[in-house]
């Protein structure tokens, strides 16, 4: 019998070899390890240290096989570790299924592994899903012949605030150390000592500082590594698993969510080779409890005599409808980037058909009309495969990151780029104000720049991929320059937003210039197209107001009402402007999961279901649909955005036409994407630099975002909040250990890091610093700020 391994590409096949395992011939690409070849024909060889995504190490020796013929007629005198042995043409391999020697070697190895492993399975978090436990059952002896003294250690060691190590359980497979070194590039843990006292060690003064640390818990083949978040929380066999797509960023990771008793207990990286392979970031893994605080909204609220009071759903819907009738078409909708595609679509349709306005925008962050034009021209209305994918990143000749810090803003893109740099010597350029750790870990070239000035000088060709982040919108002319570079050189361009719902919101038409599927509002045919599909006479013509303009218009009394989904005012360019708009608006309807600054200013508050209780789709930066399944099915679940909007539309008397995720999906599919002409790409000159000290910034992965609330161990692993300046700038400004950064509306003190790679005459701070954000200071990167030494100030004053 001969089984052919599945060819991965139609194009050019790599040279292959044929190896016979347990009498079954299999053709595999040259370089394939025996253990992988065995998997291809369904033969599982037990293993601990082997991991398909890590470099082989051959440490645990569990996967021993016999090799009666190396392909040259001669056999190997000793059993071989199949995880380090490459297949050779004509090689014959006998696994535990056909070789007594291999079977005994494996049985013996399990026994040896258990010599120093405690039999504490009943109290071990891994018990029930433990490769050692499972393989001891499948491959080992029922009872150990070892009746001596086991190695013991005080327990546990805090490798970081989140990761705990019980050394006595460790089988020293080096998966965690190899992961941290090879995959994430954070080699803060290493094997130390020798013999049976060998153990995972950390630096005396440095914790295991990594955005990806949770992966080591997942790949640990025993219960040696646990997370502070999940330790002692549950037993694997009591959990129910549901596949979901991560809601934290636009990477689009598939996750496995485990719940018990109507409560999510943990989240694991799913297995999606096209996207996250088998990894995810710590934020995606641990930040899922933000909806469990006392600020969770569980019943509607309506404002009466200036105070919010609880209300029943019918009463609240009546109040909302009354408000909506009052404002008529003088309404704006701000949706934010956290919604599923289906929910965003409901808002988009609600704005157009129920309210009759194009005033809808998802961008809860600094944004411009240049960006809206860029998105309409080059991003919206595409399908997966029309643009850049993760796989393309690995085969590109060069990748340029502009206004995009992959490790902080799309961690899985970072992992993929690092992998390509390590394995395929991918050339990467990062255009950014300073050489970050992430830039170093991607082995990338750093192009120091804070605005668009460096872009026209970059070299690119048809083999180049330009990844441009949403922050490009902060600098006038940057998106124009990037589009020009791509058009001139033939380089491929991909826009990578930060939030999980951003790409879906664009496709749903949550932009003032776009209808669903990338249809330009300004295009008559596009409007007719959508109107016909929606069964309405006509759609509002003329582009609407973007989010900032909506709040400004509300402040000026030009816009009467605002419908606001999950947004944080402090995420916008100016928190004060958002709050002013909310306060001035005649009617504010808030649809939220948790009480916020919007709630405080809303007239009607409708509680929305947590993501874990509903289904939907996130589109990632590649435009790949990532399904979300309802994890927790509770009878007490509040309504979803979609159901609420449908109920409001019904009450207004203009039915939305959709009320379930399935119906929304069907309608989106029926609409398809726009096939007509795309609007022109924007052409704007590059803005001059701010002034004496220009602000630069991006948001760090683990920051004061409300989505991270309630998970103290995760927050402890956040990177420190510091301000970076170049040594020359620090000297010019006379900076010491701390600086005070001031805008027109506020100021904040930061610890100073002088960084030789930092651009001169600029300061970098994180976009969110826990007790404030750029939005609370009211500044946008690229603008001028005032920086003085904090120590010089007479009155300490505190943070504004």
Partner 1 sequence: MTDPLTPVLTANWGDEQAWKLASYERRGGYQGMRAALRMTPPEVISLVKDSGLRGRGGAGFPTGMKWSFVPQDNPNPKYLVVNSDESEPGTCKDMPLLLASPHTLVEGIVIASYAIGVSHAFIYCRGEVLHVIRRLQQAVREAYAAGYAGSNILGSGFDLEITVHAGAGAYICGEETALLDSLEGRRGQPRLRPPFPAVAGLYACPTVINNVESIASVPAIVKNGSEWFKQMGTEKSNGMTIYSLSGHVARPGQFEAPLGVTLRTLLELSGGIRAGHQLKFWTPGGSSTPILTDEHLDLSLDYEGMAGAGTMLGTKALQIFDETTSVVRTTLRWVEFYKHESCGKCTPCREGTWWLVQLLHRFEAGTAVDGDVDKLLDVCDNIGGKSFCALADGAVACVTSAVRHFRTEFEAGYSTPAWELFPYRESALFEVREREGAGV
Interface residue list for partner 1 (CB under 8 A): 56-62, 64, 77-79, 81, 84, 104-105, 107-109, 111-113, 115-116, 145-146, 148-149, 151, 171-172, 191-198
Spell out the residues 6+ positions from residue 145 whose beta carbon is closer than 8 angstroms to its own.
111
Strands (E), 381-462: 398-402, 427-432, 445-448
Using the minimum distance from each CB to partner 1, give the nearer residue, 107 or 732: 107
Using the minimum distance from each CB to partner 1, give the nearer residue, 25 or 191: 191
Using the minimum distance from each CB to partner 1, give the nearer residue, 114 or 584: 114
Using the minimum distance from each CB to partner 1, give the nearer residue, 149 or 462: 149
Query: Using CA atoms, how far apart are residues 20 and 31, in angstroms rounded to an integer?
Result: 15
Using the minimum distance from each CB to partner 1, give the nearer residue, 30 or 633: 30
Half-sphere exposure at residue 253, Cβ-oriented, CA atoms within 13 angstroms: 29
Min dist CB 226 to partner 1, Å, is 22
Min dist CB 677 to partner 1, Å, is 55
The answer to whether the beta carbons of residues 144 and 114 sit under 8 Å apart is: yes
Q: Are strands 199-202 and 189-192 parallel, antiparallel or unpaired?
A: antiparallel
Min dist CB 84 to partner 1, Å, is 6
Using the minimum distance from each CB to partner 1, give the nearer residue, 79 or 381: 79
Min dist CB 181 to partner 1, Å, is 12
Torsion of CA 788, 791, 792, 796, to 10 degrees: 100
The answer to whether the beta carbons of residues 93 and 70 sit under 8 Å apart is: no
Q: How far apart are the first and last CA of the chain?
A: 75
Using the minimum distance from each CB to partner 1, give the nearer residue, 131 or 438: 131
Using the minimum distance from each CB to partner 1, give the nearer residue, 63 or 608: 63
Count the neighbouring beta carbons within 10 Å of the beta carbon of residue 185.
Answer: 21
Query: Using CA atoms, how far apart are residues 428 and 420, in angstroms rounded to an integer?
Result: 9
Min dist CB 102 to partner 1, Å, is 10
Using the minimum distance from each CB to partner 1, give the nearer residue, 85 or 584: 85
Min dist CB 111 to partner 1, Å, is 7
Min dist CB 63 to partner 1, Å, is 11
**What does DSSP assign to residue 1?**
-
DSSP string, 102-159: HHHHHHHHHHHHTTSS---GGG-TTTTS-HHHHHHHHHS-SS-S--SPPP---S-EES
Using the minimum distance from each CB to partner 1, give the nearer residue, 140 or 497: 140
Count the neighbouring beta carbons within 10 Å of the beta carbon of residue 646.
Answer: 24
Using the minimum distance from each CB to partner 1, give the nearer residue, 60 or 281: 60
| H runs (alpha helix) in 568-701 | 575-584, 641-652, 661-671
Count the neighbouring beta carbons within 10 Å of the beta carbon of residue 74.
Answer: 10
Min dist CB 104 to partner 1, Å, is 7
197-203-207 Cα angle (round to 5): 115
Min dist CB 62 to partner 1, Å, is 7
The answer to whether the beta carbons of residues 407 and 436 sit under 8 Å apart is: yes
R_g (Cα) of the chain, nearest Å: 28
Using the minimum distance from each CB to partner 1, give the nearer residue, 112 or 687: 112
Min dist CB 64 to partner 1, Å, is 6
The answer to whether the beta carbons of residues 2 and 26 sit under 8 Å apart is: yes
Min dist CB 116 to partner 1, Å, is 6
Cα–Cα separations (whole angstroms), residue 79 to 49, 82, 89, 103, 212: 17, 9, 19, 10, 36
Query: Using CA atoms, how far apart are residues 425 and 398, in angstroms rounded to an integer?
Result: 9
Min dist CB 428 to partner 1, Å, is 23
């Amino acid at each position: 019998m001969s089984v052919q391994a599945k060819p991965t590409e139609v194009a050019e096949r790599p040279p292959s070899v044929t190896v016979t395992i347990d009498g079954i011939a299999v053709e595999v690409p040259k370089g394939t390890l025996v253990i992988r070849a065995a998997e291809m024909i369904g033969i599982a060889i037990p293993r601990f240290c082997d991991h398909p995504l890590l470099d082989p190490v051959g440490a645990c020796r569990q996967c021993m096989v016999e090799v009666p013929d190396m392909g040259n007629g001669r056999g190997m005198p000793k059993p071989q570790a199949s995880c380090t042995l490459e297949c050779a043409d004509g090689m014959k391999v006998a696994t535990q299924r056909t070789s007594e020697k291999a079977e005994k070697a494996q049985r013996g190895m399990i026994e040896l592994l258990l010599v120093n492993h405690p039999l504490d399975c009943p109290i071990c978090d891994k018990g029930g899903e433990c490769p050692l436990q499972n393989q001891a059952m499948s491959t080992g002896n029922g009872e150990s012949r070892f009746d001596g003294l086991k190695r013991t250690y005080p327990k546990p060691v805090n490798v970081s605030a989140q990761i705990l190590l019980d050394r006595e359980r460790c089988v020293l497979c080096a998966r965690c150390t190899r992961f941290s070194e090879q995959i994430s590039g954070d080699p803060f843990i290493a094997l130390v000592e020798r013999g049976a006292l060998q153990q995972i060690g950390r630096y005396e003064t440095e914790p295991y500082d990594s955005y990806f640390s949770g992966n080591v818990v997942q790949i640990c083949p025993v219960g040696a590594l646990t997370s502070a978040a999940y330790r002692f929380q549950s037993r694997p066999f009591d959990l129910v698993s549901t596949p979901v797509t991560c809601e934290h960023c636009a990477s689009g990771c598939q996750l496995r969510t485990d719940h018990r008793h109507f409560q999510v207990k943990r989240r694991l990286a799913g297995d999606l080779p096209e996207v996250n392979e088998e990894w995810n970031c710590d934020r995606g893994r641990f930040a899922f409890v933000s909806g469990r605080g006392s600020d969770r909204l569980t019943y509607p609220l309506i404002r009466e005599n200036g105070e919010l009071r609880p209300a029943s759903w019918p009463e609240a819907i009546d109040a909302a409808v009354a408000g909506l009738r009052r404002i008529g078409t003088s309404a704006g909708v701000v949706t934010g980037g956290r919604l599923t595609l289906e929910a965003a679509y409901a808002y988009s349709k609600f704005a157009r058909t129920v309210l009759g306005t194009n005033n809808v925008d998802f961008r809860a962050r600094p944004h411009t009309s240049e960006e809206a034009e860029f998105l309409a021209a080059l991003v919206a209305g595409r399908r997966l495969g029309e643009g850049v994918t993760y796989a393309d990143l690995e085969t590109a000749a060069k990748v340029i990151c502009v206004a995009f810090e992959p490790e902080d803003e799309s961690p899985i893109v970072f992992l993929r780029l690092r992998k390509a740099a390590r394995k395929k010597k991918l050339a990467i350029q990062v255009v950014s104000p300073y050489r970050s750790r992430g830039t170093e870990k991607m082995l990338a070239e750093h192009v120091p720049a804070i605005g668009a000035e460096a872009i026209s000088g970059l070299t690119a060709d048809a083999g180049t991929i330009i990844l441009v982040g949403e922050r490009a919108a902060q600098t006038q002319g940057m998106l124009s320059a990037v589009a020009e570079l791509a058009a001139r050189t033939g380089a491929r361009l991909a826009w990578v937003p930060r939030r999980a719902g951003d790409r879906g919101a664009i496709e749903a038409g949550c932009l003032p210039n776009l209808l669903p599927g990338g249809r330009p509002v300004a295009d008559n045919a596009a409007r007719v197209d959508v109107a016909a599909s929606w069964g309405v006479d006509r759609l509002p013509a003329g582009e609407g107001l973007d989010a900032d303009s909506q709040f400004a218009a509300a402040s000026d009394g030009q816009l009467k009402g605002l419908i606001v989904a999950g947004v944080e005012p402090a995420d916008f360019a100016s928190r004060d402007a958002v709050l002013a708009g909310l306060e001035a608006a005649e009617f504010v309807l808030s649809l939220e999961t948790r009480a916020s600054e919007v709630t405080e200013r809303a007239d009607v508050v409708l509680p929305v279901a947590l993501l874990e209780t509903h289904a939907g789709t996130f589109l990632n930066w590649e435009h790949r649909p990532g399904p979300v399944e309802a994890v927790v099915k509770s009878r007490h679940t509040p309504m979803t955005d979609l159901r609420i909007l449908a109920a409001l539309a019904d009450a207004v008397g203009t039915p939305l036409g959709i009320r379930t995720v399935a119906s929304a999906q069907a309608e989106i599919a029926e609409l398809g994407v726009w096939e007509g002409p795309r609007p022109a790409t924007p052409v704007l000159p590059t803005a001059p630099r701010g002034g004496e000290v220009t602000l630069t910034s991006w948001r760090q992965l683990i920051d004061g975002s409300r989505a991270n609330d309630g998970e103290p161990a995760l927050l402890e692993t956040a990177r420190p909040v510091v301000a970076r300046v170049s040594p020359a700038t620090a000297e010019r400004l006379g900076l010491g250990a701390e600086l005070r950064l001031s805008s027109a509306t506020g100021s904040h003190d930061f610890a100073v890091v002088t960084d030789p790679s930092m651009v001169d005459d600029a300061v970098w701070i994180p976009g969110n610093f826990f007790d404030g954000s750029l939005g609370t200071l009211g500044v946008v990167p690229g603008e001028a700020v005032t920086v003085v030494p904090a120590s010089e100030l007479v009155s300490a004053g505190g943070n504004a």
